[in-house]
Amino acid sequence: MPKINIGGVMEEVVTSEEFTLEKARKALKNEIVAVIGYGVQGRGQALNMRDNGIRCIVGEGDFNWQKAIDEGFKPGETLFPPIEAAKRGTIIQYLMSDAGQKAMWPELKPTLTKGKAIYFSHGFSIVYKDQTGVIPPSDIDVILVAPKGAGRTVRDNFLAGSGINSSYAVFQDATGKAMERTLAVGIAIGSGYLFPTTFEQEVYSDLTGERGVLMGCLAGVLEAQYNVLRKHGHSPSEAFNETVEELTQSLMPLVAQNGMDWMYANCSTTAQRGALDWKNRFRDAVAPVFDELYDRVASGKETAIVLEVNSAPDYREKLQKELDTMKNSEMWQAGAMVRALRPERRKK
């Protein structure tokens, strides 16, 4: 496995060039991968494995049962109720929601017989075992591959031929082949580059990122700038374009291509100077918030909220109300209008 040096830190990474798809197929030739939960991550990973020639079955309840059928999984052959699929599988991909994993665990655990592997894409259930009760038997492998993107991105990147970055970890190696299983499934689900982590590091970074830059902080900062521009008389179109549209359609693709410094170098000198002058002020302003956020994640306070709220019987209804509030706000109504006016959409 190649090692890379980033700022003096050596990391051992795996790419699809060293651990090829053909090698993954050989490693998994006697395995049946049972994907429990055809939701956000389960769908993308299941479809990618199936397309890559891996023996893959799906375990799903009523919620996404028809969706799995519509996408080619056959009841009684490759689609089963969750516990039935787990009984049939040798590698059990436990891809329910975190609250769902806690609820199903008493039923699922007896299906984890000697020599099987349970696979996670999130360290939540294992790291916060005192809250979830998820403690695997000692005679199975416990492994993780965590794609650095939503399940939809896992699938879209695969179809585009680009793959996705994923982290990987082995928590328990009972069979002596846990690492080979981990890397094989990691490649089979469409990862082009895998980097090592631990279950603990994965969940701490993931929960911090989701609440921070990736979603929570991003949405909050966008709203703040939009509101300031509107308060000073800028139109909804102008406020949205200067806040969101230029960010997502122009600047972030430049960052993705070659980095933040390259994006700065390819903007106007006025933008460069202002951004460099204000960058550190924003960093210093939010640093205490990130310290508090990380501490709450590491202490289990954030996960306790997740398990309580997401386990409520009316969770989906309450979630939809919150999302509708966002959707119907002036800012995101302006966004819908702006997106509809993009040239590629007007041509349809």
Query: What residues act catalytically?
Result: 122
Tokens standing for residue 291: 């310290």
What is the C-alpha to C-alpha distance for residues 241 and 275, in angstroms, rounded to an integer?
18
Q: How far apart are CA 109 and CA 123, in angstroms?
A: 17
Record the tokens describing residue 108, joined without a space.
């699922």
The residue type at 249: Q
Q: What does 247-276 look like in DSSP terms, one character per residue? A: IIIIIHHHHHHH-HHHHHHTS-HHHHHHHH
Residues paired with residue 9 on neighbouring β-strands, in sequence order: 6
Tokens of 240: 């949205």
Residues 54/25, Cβ–Cβ less than 8 Å: yes
The DSSP element (H or E) to which 4 belongs, if any, is strand 3-6
Q: Could you tell me how many residues make up the chain?
A: 348
- What are the backbone dihedrals phi and psi of residue 144, each rounded to the nearest 5 degrees, phi first? -145, 135
- Rounded Cα distance, 14 and 172, in Å: 20
Q: In a 3-state reduction of DSSP, which class is residue 200? A: helix
Across 334-343, b (16+ Cβ under 10 Å) vs e yields: bbeebeeeee
Query: Quick one: how far is CA 317 from the chain centroid?
Result: 23
Tokens, residue 72: 């080619």
Q: How many Cα atoms sit within 13 Å of 135 on the Cβ side?
A: 4
Query: Are the C-beta atoms of 181 and 30 separated by less than 8 Å?
Result: no
Q: What share of the chain is helix, strand, coil (3-state, %, to 5)?
A: 60, 15, 25
Query: Pairing relation of β-strands 164-172 and 191-196?
Result: parallel
